[in-house]
Chain A
């Protein structure tokens, strides 16, 4: 079963615009991670935010986490055609050597 759900399922924007994707999850977490997956390629780790953090930045990426609402958002600023990919949030539960629990992903298309 998948804990996270991304919203929207698909997003199409023009190059230079910002893209925002949201993720909701069900149970308490240790951390939440965002991954990118290009067609035919593996998953690439983008950013990790811990449960005691509220916002994190990495280059053009900004991630927020609201543990009271069990939700996170990923903002990509000044998008480029190369950002076209599927984006997944993945949660790590509180205890143990737990695997990542992925959502179904948001398919982002950036049109040049």
Chain B
């Protein structure tokens, strides 16, 4: 079956531009996570949704980052006024249920380069 998909796969933005990154989770998956992965590092948590509710946004690095999942399926991560330090791969993951024992399935990521 279809896995988690993300678009675009690559995005180049000029400093100060706004960007929107899309995640299509596996159909029926309740939980959705966004992670940020800097070059040579492991992914770091940004935010978590259970259905349409954003239950944890403690990892968002600043108020320029905003995420939504209005109908409990597709999610969008928006970054306003991009800065060079925002350059990273943004990974989306979904899991079937809510709770710590469910496996997370990752998308291929969106590589954002801010020039």
Binding site for B on A (CB under 8 A): 2, 4, 30-31, 33, 35, 41-45, 48, 50, 88, 90, 92-105
Contact = CB atoms under 8 A, between A and B. Distances in A.
B105 interface: yes
A1 to B, nearest CB: 8
A97 B108 contact: no
Contacts of A102: 35, 42-44
Q: Please tell me the size bucket of the interface on B.
A: 20 to 34
Contacts, number: 69
B48 A45 contact: no
Contacts of B4: 42
B55 A97 contact: yes
Interface of B: 4, 31, 33, 35, 40-45, 48, 50, 55-56, 59, 91, 93, 98-101, 103-109
Contacts of A35: 106
A104 B105 CA distance: 19
Nearest to A98: B100
A18 B78 CA distance: 43
B76 to A, nearest CB: 18
Given A97-B48, A100-B45, 16 more contacts: A2-B42, A2-B44, A33-B103, A42-B91, A42-B106, A42-B107, A43-B93, A45-B103, A48-B103, A88-B43, A97-B99, A98-B100, A99-B35, A100-B93, A102-B42, A105-B42
